[in-house]
Amino acid sequence: MPCSPDSPRTPSERPDIESRTEDWRQRLDCAFDPVQSIFADCLTAAREQLGWAALAAYIDTARLLCKLGRGAEPVLAFLEGWPTVCQRLGPGSLDTVLSWVRNIQRTPNGDVLGAFFQALPATAASLGSRELLATYLDLLMEVAQQSSTSIHRRHAILPSRALPELIRIAPQLLKQVNLQGLREWARQGLRQHAKNPERQADYFAMRSADSRALFQSQRQGTLLRAHERQLDFYLRALWDDPVALISYSEAFDELRRPQPYADANGLHLPDLRVDRDGVSGLDQYRLTLAHLAAHRRFTQSLAADNVSPFQRVSIECLEDARIDTLVLQRFPGLRKPLLALHPRPEEEACNPARESCIRHRMTMLSRAILDPGHGYRDPVTRKFADLFHECLARDLSDTASMAELAKEYLVASRRPSDAFAHVYFIDTEVPYRDDNRHLWHFNDLDDESEQDMAAAPPANAPVSLVHHYPEWDYVSQSYLTDWVSLYEHLHPRGRAEDIEQLLHKHAGLVKRLEHILAQLTPQDRERLRRQEDGSELDLDWAVRSWLDQRCRRDPDTRINQSFRQVRRDLAVSLLLDLSASLGDPVQGSRSAQSVLSLAQEAVALLAWAIDRLGDPFAIAGFHSNTRHEARYWHIKGFSEAWREEPRARLAALEAAYSTRMGVALRHAGHYLSGQKKEKRLLLILTDGQPADIDVSDPDYLIADARQAVLELERDGILCHCISLDPHADNYVQKIFGKRFSIIDRVERLPERLPEIFLTLTA
């Protein structure tokens, strides 16, 4: 869905893409190099997701951030992350964010903006609505004010140390508690460690024991987020109605507790459900979904014009009772939790002389309909409960019949006090029901609102070339969410013939490889001799047995042979380091050949060999220019044949930038895990250790790469590194454990690479 109301693709607004990119660049007016370098890609991605107005606001905001004097980080993070946020929370959320940015700029905490925009997409995903975002920003402001060091209790002078920690960790925490819980936990921390910035920072980074303990105590009830997948299954499996689930919070609506509801965007449910009346939070969610799904299936909307408020209440009540009855007919096992949650108002509890009893009466009727053991004596209630069941039995089970019955009921039960201002509310809320907004339409409005229930939105998001990956921070032993932006491109093409020629150049080697391949090819069969039962007679042994028999010795009956197919069930992904150092000439060799061109030869040979074997394989290259710009060059996909196209791409390889290994491993692994093979092998060819210009700690990227390898292993993907760095043992081992080969003499790469592969998979 486009997130701004205007259509993102009307031709008049999107003339020539190229010239527009330059226009936008001018409008951005931001000289930071890294920003310039990613801008075009960000714009492409943003165009997919934003309408024109939202796009303009996006660029203008980036421009503003650029002029704030906080460096390139906030701009970069904003450019990368905002389209996703906008799509989730709506374009209106930009104002909410901007006003917070202005406020924080007035405090000494402006430097936190980079971290803030970095974490924003993940945070927004957890929060789920603009309203909650606003509340969250208030919380950040509160923490900023209470944890900044100040003079004379007036002017804050030193930035808060707690704030950046909170911003960084919030996305993770919000997966486990709702915003209310987070706020409670934060306030406790501020209170306990007031005036001690050091301690505060530890508390907010979850480094102190009390902080973890207090956080745990906030985790009560069932979070919608934690069960979303299961509830999606529930809707699909039991109701054949996979519709989006959207959460809202009950905690920040001070005036009125919102109810679940359905609209064109999906089903809106509270973010947290606490067990009650012996029904678990999860079962409460399911019951609400059952009720909503049954509405979607069985309710026909009514015209709201000329319906009095009282009529409305009673029609909704009977329609809800009908829906619940239909749910119970289909799933009788839900009767218990449903009746446990449905209130059972005391018959005499409401005094019609003093207060309006309309809600009380309606809830009693609903209970009487659903619960044969209701025990109410009121004759009107009993009569209408019976009429209701007759109605359903006579096949008058539709919304219109309920409306008729509801109007009759209203006439039969009317009291003068119904119109009193004071309405009796106790025990009249049915917690699993929704607010029935879908039940009504207004004839004098256009048709749009009427379509609400019917028009479920398609849940698929637009395609984007940008992927966000986490990175492992070994210092804090935690993931930095969405830390790296990876851009995926099709590698430009060169001349495919060049690759052909490389094979000719290595004709001798090709011959030798062919020999090895012949032993590995899948057609090859292994011969199993001396079998009791086999596919054919093994003549040698048969004759021997026959002789034995003639000589009256016991013949050996194992005279058959059979063949076993040696099946290779393997997918391979080859990842090439394309960092700048690959462009260097090979050291100590007389020719001026670069490492990269040797790698090309080696890969050409390897690809030829794998293609011969018939294993599916993919090839990609990678390099990076800070975490904002990791590039992934697609050279050959699993489904592509090893022909013209991919060869041409391989022929055009170029070296540049640095080596951010973890993200490339994760991305290659992502594709490889889609291959349904018994064995999945990820080969990475590199000439040095992971490094990037925005990282000073050499161990950081090594640890992240290690983590990526572990993640992949967990998913059944083996990583093997082929390193061209003779001094690599130390770090390569740290990353890949035992799975690596070091090639000391780079000139030998073309023969070694296929050999290594063949030994690995023989």
**244 strand-pairing partners:** none
Q: How far is residue 45's CA from residue 205's CA, in Å, rounded to a whole number?
A: 33
Among 229, 422, 552, 714, binds other proteins (CB under 8 A): 229
Q: Smallest gap, in angstroms, from Cβ of residue 237 to other proteins?
A: 4
Closest CA to 69 of 5, 8, 114: 114
Size of the residue set binding other proteins (CB under 8 A):
35
Applying CB under 8 A, does 537 fall inside the site for other proteins? yes
- Binding flag, residue 425, other proteins (CB under 8 A): no
Q: Is 193 helix (H, G, I), strand (E, B) or coil?
A: coil
Instruction: Read off the tokens for 23.
Output: 């226009």
Residues linked to residue 263 through DSSP beta bridges, in sequence order: 266
**218 contacts 184 by C-beta, under 8 angstroms:** yes
Q: Give helix 130-147 / helix 197-204 axis angle, nearest 10°.
A: 150
The answer to whether 373 contacts other proteins (rule: CB under 8 A) is: no
Q: Looking at 95, 207, 217, 233, which residue binds other proteins (CB under 8 A)?
A: 233
Of positions 99, 535, 589, 591, contacts other proteins by CB under 8 A: 535
- 720 three-class SS: strand
Token pair in block for residue 665: 């491993």
Q: By CB under 8 A, is residue 637 in contact with other proteins? A: no
The binder of other proteins chosen from 69, 309, 333, 379 (CB under 8 A): 333
Q: Which is nearer to other proteins, 562 or 593 (CB)?
A: 562
Choice between 454 and 543, CB closer to other proteins = 543
> In this chain, which of 58, 185, 203, 234 binds other proteins, going by CB under 8 A?
234
Q: In Å, what is the CA distance from 422 to each residue of 257, 358, 363, 629?
A: 18, 11, 17, 63
Q: Is 238 a residue that touches other proteins (CB under 8 A)?
A: yes
Binding range to other proteins, per CB under 8 A, among 424-432, 530-538, 640-648, 660-668: 530-538
CA–CA dist 168, 205 (Å, integer): 8
Which is closer to other proteins, CB of 334 or CB of 606?
Answer: 334
Q: Which is nearer to other proteins, 86 or 334 (CB)?
A: 334
How far apart are the C-alpha atoms of 224 and 266, rounded to whole Å?
A: 14
Q: Which of residues 541-560 bind other proteins (CB under 8 A)?
A: 542, 545-546, 549, 555, 557, 559-560
Nearer to other proteins, 257 or 336 (CB): 336
b/e code 74-108 from CB counts within 10 Å (16+ = b): bbbbbbbbbbbbbbbbbbebbebbeebbeebeebb
Shortest distance (Å) from residue 430 CB to other proteins: 19
* CA angle at 52 for the pair 48 and 55, rounded to the nearest 5°: 70
Q: Which is nearer to other proteins, 330 or 727 (CB)?
A: 330
Q: According to the binding rule CB under 8 A, does residue 330 interact with other proteins?
A: yes
Q: Which is nearer to other proteins, 460 or 696 (CB)?
A: 460
Nearer to other proteins (CB atom), residue 194 or residue 537: 537
Q: What's 46-59 look like in SS3?
A: HHHHCCHHHHHHHH
Q: What are phi and psi of 205, to 5 degrees?
A: -90, 5
Question: What is the 3-state composition of the chain as percent helix, strand, coil, each rounded to the nearest 5?
Answer: 50, 15, 35
The yes or no reply on residue 236 touching other proteins (CB under 8 A) is yes
Tokens standing for residue 428: 């009249």
Q: How far is the CB of 227 from other proteins (least distance, A)?
A: 8
* Min separation Cβ 716 and other proteins, Å: 15
CB of 523 to other proteins, least distance (A): 9
Question: From residue 490 to residue 529, what is the string marking binding to other proteins with x (rule CB under 8 A)?
Answer: ----------------------------------------
Q: How far is the CB of 522 from other proteins (least distance, A)?
A: 10
Closer CB to other proteins, 264 or 339, in the complex: 339
Question: Going by C-beta distance under 8 Å and a sequence separation of 6 or more, which residues neighbour residue 194?
Answer: 146
Backbone angles phi, psi at 551, to 5 degrees: -90, 15
Smallest separation, CB 286 to other proteins (Å): 6
Q: What residues are paired with 245 via a beta bridge?
A: 267
Site for other proteins, residues 557 to 576, rule: CB under 8 A: 557, 559-560, 562-565, 569
Q: How far is the CB of 373 from other proteins (least distance, A)?
A: 15
Q: Rounded distance, CA 749 to CA 738, Å?
A: 20
- Looking at residues 647 to 686 of the shown chain, list those that interact with other proteins (rule: CB under 8 A): 676
**Smallest gap, in angstroms, from Cβ of residue 282 to other proteins?**
8
Q: Identify which of 720, 658, 662, 653 has the alpha carbon closest to the alpha carbon of residue 688.
A: 658
Pick the closer one to other proteins by CB: 535 or 591: 535
742 has which bridge partners?
A: 723
The DSSP bridge partners found for residue 484 are 469
Give DSSP secondary structure letters for 445-478.
S-GGGGGTTT-PPP-PPPP-SEEEEEEEETTTTE
596 near 724, Cβ under 8 Å? no
Q: The sheet that has 536-537: what strands, in order across it?
A: 525-531, 560-565, 536-537
Where in 271-300 is the site for other proteins (CB under 8 A)?
Answer: 283, 286
Among candidates 499, 680, 519, which has minimal Cα distance to 605?
499
Q: Give the interface segment with other proteins, choosing from 231-239, 243-251, 649-657, 726-734 (CB under 8 A).
A: 231-239
Q: How far is the CB of 465 from other proteins (least distance, A)?
A: 26
For residues 363 and 430, the answer to whether their CB atoms sit within 8 Å is yes
Per-residue binder mask for other proteins (CB under 8 A), 239-258, x = binder? -x------------------
What part of residues 689-728 is at the interface with other proteins (CB under 8 A)?
A: none
Does the protein bind other proteins through residue 237 (CB under 8 A)? yes
Binding segment for other proteins (CB under 8 A), chosen from 166-174, 237-245, 261-269, 735-743, is 237-245
Closer residue to other proteins in complex, CB, 531/593: 531
Q: Segment contacting other proteins (CB under 8 A): 198-206, 232-240, 653-661, 718-726? A: 232-240
Q: Would you say 230 or 759 has its CB closer to other proteins?
A: 230
Q: Count of CB atoms within 10 A of residue 229's CB?
A: 9
At a CB cut-off of 8 Å and minimum separation 6, what does 53 contact?
4, 5, 6, 91
Stretch that binds other proteins, among 292-300, 333-341, 628-636, 752-760 (CB under 8 A): 333-341
* Alpha helices, H only, 331-477: 335-341, 358-370, 379-393, 399-413
- Among residues 352, 534, 583, 737, the one that binds other proteins under rule CB under 8 A: 534
Q: Supply the minimum distance, in Å, between the C-beta of residue 338 and other proteins.
A: 10
Shortest reach from residue 612's CB to other proteins, in Å: 17
> What tokens were used for 592?
């001026």
The amino acid at 382: R
Residue (314 or 561) nearer to other proteins, CB: 561
The contact set with other proteins (CB under 8 A) reads 229-230, 233-234, 236-238, 240, 283, 286, 330-336, 534-537, 542, 545-546, 549, 555, 557, 559-560, 562-565, 569, 676
